[in-house]
Structure 1
Amino acid sequence: MALIEFSQPAGFGDTIGLINNWPQEMLSELCEEVILLLQYKIGSINRNKYLEKLLMQDSTLTSEKVKSCINAVSHLYRFAAKAKLSGEDLHQQLTSDFTCGVSTLSVITNVWKTKGPSLIACNFTEEKLNIGQLVDLQWKLGMAISSDSCKSLNSPFVILKLKVSDPSGNLHTYTMEMTLTQFKNFSTQLKEIASLLATV
């Protein structure tokens, strides 16, 4: 099989170097969890579980480094599923593109040989979640001057207007009113979601 171009995220090579130091059993467990995650059978991977075990052999590890390892394995398996690679094809790709240790290479490809076909079969890369798509977002800042219970309220608020297209293509408009504090929390959560999506 001809090699397929593999786009490496920034720092990917360094992360592979970290993964090379993982014990085989732990890496195998992570690989299996990543495949379950990509099949939407689990919601997340507990990186602290791995960090606690790995700190015994490398005290310089951090939660962020473990997260990078999880993201790297996810990226590899997502690529392999999209390209519909067999275990041998993935082995060849990893051998040519990366400096994977022998045991790392063995674990990643062996798990792929047994669990990969089920991920390819579910066509996760081509399926779309049966949810709406955000088409437009508008916001407006206002000031509540008074209310029935308070003569001088003087409280700022934000009105969000979301235009969403449902899976059948129909447009729906949703309006929300938030206090400034609620809007700041909402904004922070959106930033966190965006940064998580950037690693996927």
Structure 2
Amino acid sequence: MPAADLTYVSNKVVDIINILPPDAFSDTCLHILTHLCGQSAGVDSAVLSNELSNAGVTLDHEDLQSIIRYVLLTFRFAGKHSLSADGLVSKLEEDSSRWAKPSLQVIHKLWSEHSAEVQLQQEAKGILSIGQLVDMQWKLGMAVSSDTCRSLNSPYVMVLLKVADPSGQIHQKSFEMTIQQFQNLHSHFKDIAAVMETV
């Protein structure tokens, strides 16, 4: 992507950030820093969107995703290059002249408080970079039509997984299983839990 395109994308996200009240932007950054400090598996945009909505802030899903990606990359970059809060703000101002002072103050304050913890966590994560299972839900249903069930009116299990990828974004995956497949999965989880207790 040419530098002009990157500047356009950067300016567009900065414009969206500047619209947010400082408290809402601070809460968004705290969600991201909580993840980067290793205290959560990822940044759940659905939860964040709910919190912003409850605070009276309405954001388009794509805009919220853009903010999350941009701030994640910004804090990761600052951690990787051991930037101070002043250094980070200077770099942001260099990249885009459109930053509002209140937004930069939020970033300065939060990076001053959390930079050491983020840098430590990044060093640890550099050793092992895999996705993490955040949540698993299941429900029992009755098949009306399915590719895996042989006959109609057969019971099935719908499984919903929330997985945080190494970048910190949480993705949802869902699939259907027969009762036998679900029982086998349960058995495997029991075996894994038994092995993990011995570690």
- What band does the TM-score fall into relative to the shorter chain? 0.5 to 0.7
Match of residue 20, structure 2, among 18, 22, 28: 22
1:50 Cα offset (Å): 4.3
Question: Could you tell me how far apart the structure 2 residues matched to 1:195 and 1:89 are?
Answer: 23
Q: Please name the residue that 1:137 is paired with.
A: none
Unaligned runs of 5+ residues in structure 1 are 1-7, 132-154, 157-188
Cα distance, 1:39–1:124 mapped onto 2, change above 3 Å: farther
Cα distance, 1:31–1:92 mapped onto 2, change above 3 Å: same
Q: Are the counterparts in 2 of residues 81 and 125 from structure 1 also a CA contact under 8 Å?
A: no
Q: Which moved more, 1:79-88 or 1:37-46?
A: 37-46
Match of residue 33, structure 2, among 32, 35, 59: 35
Matched, 1:118 2:128: no
Q: What letter corresponds to residue 48 of structure 1 in structure 2? A: S
Residue-pair matches, total? 141
Alpha-carbon RMSD: 4.2
Equivalent residue of 1:41, what SS?
Answer: coil
Q: How does 1:157-168 map to 2 (within 5 A)?
A: none
Question: Could you tell me how far apart the structure 1 residues matched to 2:74 and 2:166 are?
Answer: 21
Q: Please name the residue that 1:165 is paired with.
A: none
Deviations 1:122-177 (A, max 9, x none): 3348622276xxxxxxxxxxxxxxxxxxxxxxx99xxxxxxxxxxxxxxxxxxxxx
Unaligned runs of 5+ residues in structure 2 are 1-5, 131-146, 149-160, 170-199
Scaled by the length of structure 2, what TM-score is found?
A: 0.55
Question: Could you tell me how far apart the structure 2 residues matched to 1:40 and 1:9 are?
Answer: 30
Question: Could you tell me how far apart the structure 2 residues matched to 1:51 and 1:126 are?
Answer: 29
Question: Could you tell me how far apart the structure 2 residues matched to 1:77 and 1:48 are?
Answer: 20
Displaced runs of 4 or more, over 3 A: 123-126, 193-197
Q: Are the counterparts in 2 of residues 51 and 63 from structure 1 also a CA contact under 8 Å?
A: no
Q: What letter corresponds to residue 67 of structure 1 in structure 2? A: Q
1:47 Cα offset (Å): 3.0
Q: Please name the residue that 1:107 is paired with.
A: 106
1:85 Cα offset (Å): 0.2
1:92 Cα offset (Å): 1.1
Matched, 1:49 2:66: no
Cα distance, 1:51–1:94 mapped onto 2, change above 3 Å: same
Scaled by the length of structure 1, what TM-score is found?
A: 0.55
Q: Are the counterparts in 2 of residues 87 and 113 from structure 1 also a CA contact under 8 Å?
A: yes
Percent identity for Structure 1 against Structure 2? 22
Q: Are the counterparts in 2 of residues 82 and 125 from structure 1 also a CA contact under 8 Å?
A: no
Q: How does 1:1-200 map to 2 (within 5 A)?
A: 8=6, 11-43=9-41, 44-45=43-44, 46-53=47-54, 56=56, 61-98=59-96, 99-124=98-123, 127-129=126-128
Higher relative contact order (CA 8 A, sep 6+): 2
Question: Could you tell me how far apart the structure 2 residues matched to 1:83 and 1:23 are?
Answer: 29
